Amino acid sequence: MVFQKIYTRIDAVLQQHRFQHLIRQSKYRHQLSELPSGLLPHWQRSAKNEFTGIPSDAVFFIQAAEGLMMFFDCVRRSEHACGLPSKAADSIWHAWLSLPQSDFKAQTVERFCRQHFGREIPHVEATQMESDMSAALAATLLQLRRIAGKDPLSHFAPDLFTLDQRLKMPRGYSYQMQGGRIGWQNMSLLGKGTGTTFYPSSFEPAQLMALGLITAPMLELHQRKQAEQAAQQGGSCGSSCGMQTSSCDSGSDGGGDGGSCGSGCGGGCS
C-alpha cells in the first residue's frame, strides 16, 4: 500500500512535468496556457461518457487540446468549410462546449477563438455540415499542408490527421500514407486501426480541383511530376499493393467519412 501511494505520487509528478513540457514546446503554447482552468477536470469527468474508453490523463488531454488548436488555426485561414479528422481533438471541443457557466464565464469557446484566432469558429456536427464532410476534410488536409510549408499535393500527412493514431484514441480515425495516397481506418476500442483502409475520392488531385481547392496549373504540374517519378521507377508497385483498400465517398461501404465534426466558417467569415 505504501509503495502504491509513492508510485502514484511519482506518476502524478511526471505527468505534470510532461504536461508543462508539451505546452512549452508547442507552436500553440500561448493558446494552451490560456485554456479555461476548469476544462481539464470537466473533460476528465465528461469525455468518458461520450467517447468510450478514452484515457483521462493530463498528457492525453494537452495533446488533444493542441490538435484542436491546429484545427482552429486551419479554419481561420481557410476559405472553405473544414472537417475535423480527430476524435481526440473533438473530445476537448465537446467538453468545452458543455462546461458549466461558473467554470467558463470569462473564457467561452467563442471568446477564446475571437481572441486567439480572430473570429468565432462554430462547432458543426458532420450531419449538419452544409458541405460534404469528405470535401471539408480535403480542405483541412490541404490547408494544414500549407501551414506546415508543404506542397498541398505532397505526400505529407499533417499532425492533426495522425493525432488519433499517435494517441491510440479508442474508436478514432487512423490516417496514414500508403503508396503516395492518404487513407484511413476506423480504430478499435483498444486504439488500433482495424478493417478496410478507405481512400476518400475527395483527396484525389482531380477531385481537389473539381472542389475548387487547387487550380488547373497546380494539377498539371502535379501530374507531370507523377509521370516523371513513374518513369524513373519503371512502373513498380507502391507500398499499397496487397492491402485491403477501398476508394470511398462520404459514408460509402459503411466506413463513415473519417471525420467527426467540422466548421462551416471559412476564411470569409466575419
Task: Please indicate, yes or no, if residue 103 is contained in any of the structural domains.
Answer: yes
Which value, to the nearest 10 degrees, does the dihedral of the CA atoms of residues 12, 18, 21, 22 take? -120
Q: What is the mean pLDDT of residues 213-218?
A: 95
d(CA 248, CA 106): 43
16-20, 29-33, 208-212, range with the lowest pLDDT: 16-20
What pLDDT shows up at residue 11?
64
Identity (one letter) of the amino acid at 266?
G
Number of structural domains in the chain: 1
Report which of 198, 207, 205 is spatially closest to residue 252, judged by C-alpha positions.
198
pLDDT band of residue 2 (cuts 50, 70, 90) is low
Task: Please indicate, yes or no, if residue 7 is contained in any of the structural domains.
Answer: no
What pLDDT shows up at residue 126?
84
| Sheet strand arrangement including 193-200 | 173-178, 181-187, 193-200, 245-248
Q: What rounded mean pLDDT belongs to the chain?
A: 85
Q: What is the mean pLDDT of residues 122-136?
A: 88
Task: Please indicate, yes or no, if residue 217 is contained in any of the structural domains.
Answer: no
Count of helices and strands (H, E) across the chain: 11, 7
Task: Please indicate, yes or no, if residue 97 is contained in any of the structural domains.
Answer: yes
Query: 45 vs 16, which has greater pLDDT?
Result: 45
Share of the chain above pLDDT 90, in %: 67
pLDDT beyond 90 at 261? no
Q: State the alpha helices, DSSP H only, in 34-81.
A: 39-50, 58-77
**What are the tens digits of pLDDT across the range 58-115?**
999 999 999 999 999 999 999 999 999 999 999 999 999 999 876 655 678 999 999 9
CA 8 remoteness from chain centre: 32
For residue 142, the enclosing domain spans 19-194+245-263
d(CA 20, CA 69): 16
d(CA 226, CA 217): 14
Task: Please indicate, yes or no, if residue 167 is contained in any of the structural domains.
Answer: yes
Task: Please indicate, yes or no, if residue 177 is contained in any of the structural domains.
Answer: yes
* Site of grid cell 487513407: 183
Cell of 166: 499517435
Q: What is the mean pLDDT of residues 253-264?
A: 60
**What are the tens digits of pLDDT across the range 135-173?**
999 999 999 999 999 999 999 999 999 999 999 999 999
pLDDT beyond 90 at 52? yes
Q: What is the mean pLDDT of residues 195-210?
A: 94
What is the model's pTM? 0.84
Task: Please indicate, yes or no, if residue 214 is contained in any of the structural domains.
Answer: no
pLDDT band of residue 14 (cuts 50, 70, 90) is confident
Number of residues assigned to the chain: 270
**What are the tens digits of pLDDT across the range 169-202?**
999 999 999 888 899 999 999 999 999 999 999 9
Q: What is the mean pLDDT of residues 199-222?
A: 94
Cell of 8: 502514484
